[in-house]
Amino acid sequence: MKRALITGVTGQDGAYLSQLLLAKGYAVFGLLRRSASADVIAERLRWLGIAGQVTLVDGNLTDISSLIRALNETAPDEIYNLGAQSFVKASWNQPLLTGQVTAMGAANLLEAVRLVRPQARFYQASSSEMYGLIQEKVQSEKTPFYPRSPYAVAKLYAHWLTVNYRESFGMHASSGILFNHESPLRGIEFVTRKVTDGVARIKLGLATELAMGNLDATRDWGHARDYVEGMWRMLQQDVADDYVLATGRTTSVREFCRLAFAHAGLDYERHVKTDVAFLRPAEVDVLHGAARKAREKLGWTPATSLETMVAEMVDADLARHRARM
């Protein structure tokens, strides 16, 4: 039985990846950071019906001694570093914390793996936000980076350190440059979930308006369930490498709103307002990925269309709010 250790196990990707690995017969361990809100910690794992099947291990990316202990205790064959301060907008308010967790956390984990578990395979969750002010119309593994937020700068450090540990120490360390991926388990602060939750509240009469930021930004949105499959495939390769995962389709926030409201029979133009409070100090206007390498080398293609995902997310938020009424 293979063993996997996941950081960020309580997040969207951690939950879907746990589900995938459990279905493949893995023993799944999740690194759990102590927090005051212990009661909501396993919410996403519960939603997927797998909360009892993931073994949670105490630890924190900012504390290398806890990582060494967790690696010794769990003896993983595969390590997935999904833990991060992952909300771009918050990274301007907490830039140093973002650096400590998102950048130095990856350094701590890579170093701990090098010291106590060098034979394990390592996955780093890199991000399309690293392309930022895009240097090519469609972004691939070869496109130069130009990060536009403290979050993206931190992710870029972690990305290059992963490449460097592979090249320096021969570690099986891969970096997945994932474009935005969403689901009913996406955090409510991200634009897609904010919109589908808003649609549900408006549909059920709990609200009338939704205040939004820049509607003209475009993103290449896929479904998280498809993307965790790509992560796993990267670690099954004989040789570690870096891969973009993307759908190859880019859609504006405005169009996402239109689709989501329309799914509930609503006209977004009647409900969506703009509020400068949701604008960012520096914006990433367009992200549009090319996942050709992943398709050719990993046999990976995203299975879920944007329309299907929007419908799933709106329906899930309607059900959540109805259950509370």
Residues that bind ligand GDP (CB under 6 A): 88, 129, 180, 189-191, 194, 212-214, 217, 219, 253, 278, 280, 283-284
Closest to ligand GDP by CB, 60 vs 81, is 81
Shortest Cβ distance from residue 213 to ligand GDP (Å)? 3
Cβ contacts of residue 220 below 8 Å, gap of 6+?
A: 128, 179, 180, 246, 247, 248, 249, 250, 251, 287, 288, 289
Q: Which one, 67 or 287, has the nearer CB to ligand GDP?
A: 287
Q: Quote the least distance from Cβ 15 to ligand GDP, whole Å.
A: 18
Q: How far apart are CA 113 and CA 75, in angstroms?
A: 10
C-beta of 78 vs 129, nearer to ligand GDP: 129
Nearest CB to ligand GDP, comparing residues 59 and 222: 222
Of residues 111 and 283, the one with the C-beta less far from ligand GDP: 283
CB of 161 closer than 8 Å to CB of 104: no
Tell me the closest approach of the beta carbon of residue 187 to ligand GDP, in angstroms.
9
The CB-of-321 to ligand GDP minimum distance in angstroms stands at 19
Q: Classify burial at 146, counting beta carbons within 10 Å of its beta carbon; exposed 0-12, middle 13-18, buried 19 or more.
A: middle
E-strand stretches of 235-275: 242-245, 251-252, 272-274
C-beta of 281: minimal distance to ligand GDP in Å?
11
CB of 193 to ligand GDP, least distance (A): 8
Dist CA 211 CA 44 (whole Å): 26
Closest CB to ligand GDP among 60 and 85? 85
**CB of 256: closest distance to ligand GDP in angstroms?**
8
**Which of 253, 314 has the CB closer to ligand GDP?**
253
* Contact criterion met (CB below 8 Å) for 236 and 195: no
HSE on the CB side for 298, CA within 13 Å? 29
Which H or E element spans position 301?
none
Angle at 78 between CA 72 and CA 82, to 5 degrees: 95
Which H or E run includes 136? none
The amino acid present at 240, given as its one-letter code, is: A
CB nearer to ligand GDP: give 67 or 200: 200
The CA angle 213-214-215, to the nearest 5 degrees, is 110
CB of 289 to ligand GDP, least distance (A): 12
